Structure 1
Amino acid sequence: MPFVPESVLKKRRAQAAIAADKDAASKKAAAAAKAKKDVIFKRAEKYAAEYKQQENDAIRLRREAKKANSIYVPPEAKLAFVIRIRGIIGMSPKVKKILQLLRLRQLHSGVFVKLNGSTIKMLRLVEPYIAYGTPNLKTVRELVYKRGYGKVNKQRVPIDNNAVVEQVLGKYDIVCVEDVIHELYTTGPHFKEVANFLWPCKLSSPTGGFKMKLLHYNEGGDAGDRGEKIHELVKKMI
């Protein structure tokens, strides 16, 4: 039997120990990933049922109001998607500051905003430079999946897997993209953290161009509040 130096044997034992630890770690990671996948799937199912229940409740209330010869008034919108449509020409310092606070520093950038007394006043002051409205679930989902980028260590990182979300928002029990969509759409308790995690969406110029940026939407232009019809503009710009 050939003589093997002690240093070689020691190296072999160390390599075997490293390989064993690596194999155990990979098995543990695979088991954790499987368990996490099951949790994410159950959450997605729960969210889908919640969205369906909201739709059914709205339909039921509308029918009950019609049956009682009354009018159904839907609750006020809590979420807005805001798109910057004009540059800095003729812009006052106050308007410029508000756009900076809204993180709308570039043309055709878009952000999700929680509607309250202060944000509504801010949007009114910068209306000539923005188009905004209440996005539906499909619009929120498409924006996050197609144009969603996260802020990780001050870097713009594409949200191409759930690990990117969990790395930043895991401490808030937000571990997947569906959690992000749910928090945005329902304006949940951690909306601020999720909105800050999302980088402003960089959209393209709309197909066919804008009609008239200097006029309000109600006057046949592009600026201002579009309500639920914001999805038409977003669809042209994704």
Structure 2
Amino acid sequence: MFLVIRVRGTTGVIQDIADTLDMLRLNRISHAVVVEENPSYKGMLQKAKDYITWGEIDAEFLSQVIAKRGRIVGGEKVTDEYVAENSDYKNIDELAEAIIKSEVKLADLNIKPVFRLHPPRKGYEDIRLSIQEGGSLGYRGENIVELAKRML
């Protein structure tokens, strides 16, 4: 699974890329989504690479994100009690494991698929350059966790 975070805003976005960002549900800066690792999503990530950053996450970090920034439709926080009542899983950790294994989706449990994060502490690196050039955009691999921790 990939964690995808929008880094840049809407000014001057080409329509095709704007549509791709809408399909990924990344409507604002510092919003994050979890997407499967398949060719369809990889193509979308490549198309929007000048506006987003992404990388692989593990179940442990995903459970932290869900616990801290996850919201139920209606605005309530996601709790272990909610997960136990509305799913086959006992707590958020088990739910995160199931999401990583693609057994269940957040929307199936009435949990919003978008995580609204804070801007990162110490700021982004240059938001016009890719990771290889010393910026913030593009594929980060495992380093996405470091950025996301600064945003929780």
CA deviations over 1:176-198 (Å, ceiling 9, x no partner): 4233211122222x236458733
Cα distance change of structure 1 residues 192 and 119 upon mapping to structure 2, 3 Å threshold: farther
SS in 2 for 1:181: helix
How much identity, in percent, do the aligned residues show?
28
1:227 equivalent to 2:141? Answer yes
Cα distance change of structure 1 residues 89 and 129 upon mapping to structure 2, 3 Å threshold: same
> In structure 1, which of residues 92, 112, 122 is the aligned counterpart of residue 34 of structure 2?
112
RMSD after superposition? 2.0
Between the aligned partners of 1:236 and 1:185, the Cα distance in structure 2 is: 22
Between the aligned partners of 1:112 and 1:186, the Cα distance in structure 2 is: 12
1:90 CA drift (Å): 1.2
CA deviations over 1:198-229 (Å, ceiling 9, x no partner): 34111111111111111111111100000011
1:166 paired residue number: 85
1:185 paired residue number: 100
Larger radius of gyration: 1
1:217 paired residue number: 131
Between the aligned partners of 1:177 and 1:211, the Cα distance in structure 2 is: 32
* TM-score normalised by length of structure 1: 0.59
Are 1:131 and 1:222, in contact at CA under 8 Å, matched by a contact in 2? yes
- Number of aligned residue pairs: give it: 152
Runs of 5+ in structure 1 lacking a partner?
1-78
Higher relative contact order (CA 8 A, sep 6+): 2
Are 1:83 and 1:109, in contact at CA under 8 Å, matched by a contact in 2? yes
SS in 2 for 1:179: helix
* TM-score normalised by length of structure 2: 0.89
1:157 paired residue number: 76
1:136 paired residue number: 58
Between the aligned partners of 1:97 and 1:149, the Cα distance in structure 2 is: 24
Cα distance change of structure 1 residues 148 and 127 upon mapping to structure 2, 3 Å threshold: same
Write the letter of the residue equivalent to 2:94.
D
1:135 CA drift (Å): 1.1
More strand as a share of residues? 2
Are 1:133 and 1:229, in contact at CA under 8 Å, matched by a contact in 2? yes
Are 2:106 and 2:112, in contact at CA under 8 Å, matched by a contact in 1? no
1:83 equivalent to 2:5? Answer yes
